[in-house]
Homo-oligomer: A and B are copies of this chain.
Amino acid sequence: MINRKLLIASTSAIYGKPYLDYLTEELDQLYNGIDNIVFIPFARPGGISYHDYSDIARKFFSKLGKKLIGIHEYDNMREMLNECEGIFTGGGNTFVLLNSLYKHKLVEPLRKCVLAGIPYLGTSAGSNILGISIQTTNDMPIVYPPSFTALGVVPFNINPHYTDSDPDSKYMGETREARIKEFLVFNNVPVTGLRDGSYFIINDTEIKLGGIHSVRIFERSTKPYELYPGSDLLFLLNKNE
């Protein structure tokens, strides 16, 4: 029996809407009955401080009647994870996030925590680290982590902010799809291209796609294809489990 209560979102905000606003209903459900949420601010979007980043998240959750505390405020972060009720890992730079988790020896404790069924919200980089590796991030490698191996609480990789290529573009760099296909040449791990506004909800062994977009699935030896809200996604969870 696998325990998991995950909300895996591509982005923390959709265009023109306030921070986390579009996820309000889902978050009411995810964190139902929970008063205290531990926030992991390590991804530091734009290099923001842990303090300032936690304040942004705190502001939103106070509206839901939840208390949010940044994990950096604890002397013993590992112990704290053992006792926490709910977790939110915000977006930013995925390399910086994973590097900090390794530095503070939090990868394994966080993994255990998630697999013990503690409700977890990830947005962007915070979603990315739930997969097998961070090797399908869009971020720049601005720090060198000791490994690209991530939590692996889902048996696939995530590409947040997935974006379709513009057929009229004169950009000569690789498209997102080309980059993910390159990943598959070197790694045999399915990749989910999660568009902004889309999210997975995983309840133990159930998975559904939320939001209005389809998700693009990339697998070795298969043409990329789309799955829609309402589609059966269960094969994604059964891949390597």
Residue ranges of A at the interface with B (Cβ–Cβ < 8 Å): 10-16, 44-47, 92-93, 95-96, 124, 134-144, 147-148, 160-161, 163, 170-174, 178-183, 185-187, 196
Contact = CB atoms under 8 A, between A and B. Distances in A.
Nearest to A138: B173
List the number of copies, as a whole number.
2
A196 B179 contact: no
Contacts of A47: 181-182, 185-186
B170 A196 contact: yes
- Residue among A44, A45, A134, A186 with max Cβ neighbours from chain B (10 Å): A186
A174 B13 contact: no
B171 A163 contact: yes
A223 to B, nearest CB: 15
Nearest to A11: B172
Given A15-B172, A47-B186, A135 B141 contact: yes
Contacts of A178: 46
Ranked nearest first, the 9 interchain pairs of A and B with the lowest CB-CB distance are A47-B185, A161-B173, A15-B170, A11-B172, A142-B183, A172-B196, A140-B179, A142-B186, A144-B148
A100 to B, nearest CB: 12
